[in-house]
Amino acid sequence: MDYTNIKCAILGSTGSVGTQAIDALTELGANITMLAAGKSFEKLLEQTKLCSPEIVATSDEACGEKLRAALAHTDIKIYSGKDAICRAIYDCDAKLIVHSISGMAGLPAALAAAETGARIAMANKEALIAAGHLIYARLEKSGGELIPVDSEHSAIFQCLCAQGAAHPSRQADSSRVRRILLTASGGPFFGWSSEQLDTVTPEMALAHPTWKMGPKITIDCATLMNKGFELIEACRLFGVDSDKVEVLVHRQSIIHSMVEYIDTSVIAQLSYPDMRDCVRFALTYPDRAPAGSPPLDFAKVGTLTFHEPDNEAFPLLNLARETWRRGGTAPASLIAADEEAVDAFLKAKIGFGDIARVVIAAMEKCPVYEADSEDPIYKAENEARIITNEIINKYAK
């Protein structure tokens, strides 16, 4: 298939996933018509010269002014400021929008993208976790669709294709599914006790054994909070109850997730870990394009192992399950509490073990509202940040 006429936008282009998305789409020959990022002027300028988009958007005014000066000799439109990325989404006419803005900051862009009728290749889990129902309501109205880019959820999506659903996300017949088996690398501290985890430094926690990611998500992987977020994300994406989602620690990161059907047959998706494969699939689905990455060599892989997660040493995984059951704005509060706790850890205000203690304590105090629009979600998020920082101050070194 010829992908050169498909207009693509990349939100969060200077981040890890965004950078890999440029690699994957460039390899396919897709037309990258819009790039959007935050304050990374040098990297965004470099990407602009590489991709020659029609539009470049930045949420930072100073970055925007620098871009206008550097690109004054071109016809590239520069959008800057608080609402710049959303305005660019509406104006760029992209058929594929790769959303890799991290955190709750990506929610407005997710809602805007859902209104355009485009296919969203979704790598921002926070927007789905906090407001997935609002995003899907907009997709239904616009005729757009969403395909997950997280390696685990891309794997689940592909496994669910085996049941013959026209579009597995949300529309899958979950009555045929017995379990979704969500795999986790276990992070750098697999097998560590709670006492050992209290000795972890930011430098130690940032050394993920498999994936190269930004600092926030790397710390979340080390606490297993990221896997808790992915559990909620799976419930949002595939319309299943949390009781149907189980987490397995799989150290080799070759099986990216599995689906067990009611006849006990298990279908798994396997590959070497490479986010470019997930972006490529999101663009080409239901087709597949040849990949530049090496094929899986089972003889070299050898043994695949599985372990149950240690919920005592890593309690945030169970907290995520409980949060999903609480419903409403609770998932948004969890995201905000975790963001504040991780930031405090990276700034050496609290210890690694304190991340879980702070988030758990915060969630006990956070009120839950009905999430029938963006307003209560943002309200809950802001309140959670205030509550969490009050708790952080008590734990601060």
Q: What is the CATH number of the domain that holds 17?
A: 3.40.50.720
Residue 299: strand, helix, or coil:
helix
Q: What integer is the mean pLDDT of 96-117?
A: 96
**Quick one: pLDDT band at residue 169, thresholds 50, 70, 90?**
low
Q: pLDDT for 265-323, tens place per residue? A: 999 999 999 999 999 999 999 999 988 778 999 999 999 999 999 999 999 999 999 99
Look up residue 286 and give its DSSP letter.
T
Give the end of a domain, one of 287, 313, 339.
313
Q: What integer is the mean pLDDT of 24-43?
A: 95
pLDDT at 1 (0 to 100): 73
299/179 same-domain check:
yes
Find the domain containing 180 and state its range: 152-313
pLDDT at 382 (0 to 100): 98
115/61 same-domain check:
yes
**Quick one: pLDDT band at residue 173, thresholds 50, 70, 90?**
low
Provide CB contacts within 8 A for 96, sequence distance 6+: 6, 7, 8, 9, 30, 118, 119, 120, 121, 282, 283
Range with the poorest average pLDDT among 82-86, 282-286, 331-335, 362-366: 282-286
Q: What integer is the mean pLDDT of 111-131?
A: 97
Indicate the residue type of 297.
D
275/130 same-domain check:
no
Per-residue pLDDT at 5 exceeds 90: no
**Quick one: pLDDT band at residue 152, thresholds 50, 70, 90?**
very high
288/196 same-domain check:
yes
Per-residue pLDDT at 172 exceeds 60: no
Q: What integer is the mean pLDDT of 140-153?
A: 96
Decide: 380 and 367 in contact? Cβ < 8 Å. yes
160/130 same-domain check:
no
Range with the poorest average pLDDT among 102-106, 111-115, 142-146, 222-226: 102-106
Kindly provide the residue ranges of all beta strands, DSSP E only, lying in the chain, ordered along the sequence: 7-11, 31-37, 55-58, 77-80, 96-99, 119-122, 145-148, 177-184, 245-249, 255-261, 266-270
Mean of all residue pLDDT scores within the chain: 94
Hey, how many other C-beta atoms are within 10 angstroms of the C-beta on 272?
14
Range with the poorest average pLDDT among 9-18, 104-113, 169-178, 260-269: 169-178
Range with the poorest average pLDDT among 148-152, 208-212, 295-299: 208-212
Decide: 185 and 193 in contact? Cβ < 8 Å. no
Look up residue 54 and give its DSSP letter.
S
Asked whether residue 322 is domain-assigned, the answer is no
Q: How far apart are CA 340 and CA 383, in angstroms?
A: 12
Asked whether residue 300 is domain-assigned, the answer is yes
Q: pLDDT for 356-397, tens place per residue? A: 999 999 999 999 999 999 999 999 999 999 999 999 998 876
pLDDT at 192 (0 to 100): 97
Asked whether residue 2 is domain-assigned, the answer is no
pLDDT at 234 (0 to 100): 97
Q: How far apart are CA 37 and CA 109, in angstroms?
A: 11
- Specify the number of domains making up the chain: 3
> What does the DSSP assignment read for 135-180?
HHHHHHHHT-EEEE-SHHHHHHHHHHGGGT-SSHHHHS-GGGEEEE
Hey, how many other C-beta atoms are within 10 angstroms of the C-beta on 356?
22
* Through-space distance between the first and last CA atoms of the chain, rounded to whole angstroms: 57
pLDDT at 175 (0 to 100): 81
263/136 same-domain check:
no
Tokens describing residue 314: 């890593």
304/222 same-domain check:
yes
Decide: 234 and 153 in contact? Cβ < 8 Å. yes
Give the distance from CA 337 to its chain's centroid. Answer: 17
Per-residue pLDDT at 87 exceeds 60: yes
Residue with structure tokens 């490479």? 274
pTM: 0.93
Give the end of a domain, one of 253, 278, 313.
313
Residue with structure tokens 């296919």? 119
**Quick one: pLDDT band at residue 213, thresholds 50, 70, 90?**
confident
Per-residue pLDDT at 177 exceeds 60: yes
